[in-house]
Amino acid sequence: MMRTEKKDEKKAPWTARRIVALVGILLLVGLYASTLVFALLNRPYAKGLLMGAVFCTIAVPVLLYAMTMVAGHLKGKGAPDRTPDEAAEEASEDASVKDRS
């Protein structure tokens, strides 16, 4: 009889990005549900609530995407693979080439 043992799998830690993504998903699900409820209400204020929910359904993902882009830019993701020393050396070479002209 073979026993199957679970290997010690390391789960990825809960990063800020994962937490923000989870909050965004929950917020969108809530917005979709509220949009449905507001669409079915027959109250004088229902149309305004529906328009607000539809707007937020579009605006929230756009804002979350923008926040992710800014956070990635601030952390240096997408930056060229070179050290600060290499960047400084390249800048000094560019300056010396301009001086010769």
pTM of the model: 0.52
Q: For residue range 39-56, list pLDDT tens digits in order.
A: 888 888 888 888 888 898
Looking at residue 44, what DSSP letter applies? T
Task: Find tokens 């990005």 and name the residue.
Answer: 17
Q: State in Å, rounded, how far the first CA of the chain is from the last one.
A: 81
Tens digit of each residue's pLDDT, the chain (101 residues): 555 555 556 777 878 778 878 888 898 899 889 888 888 888 888 888 888 888 988 898 898 888 888 887 887 765 556 666 776 777 777 666 666 65
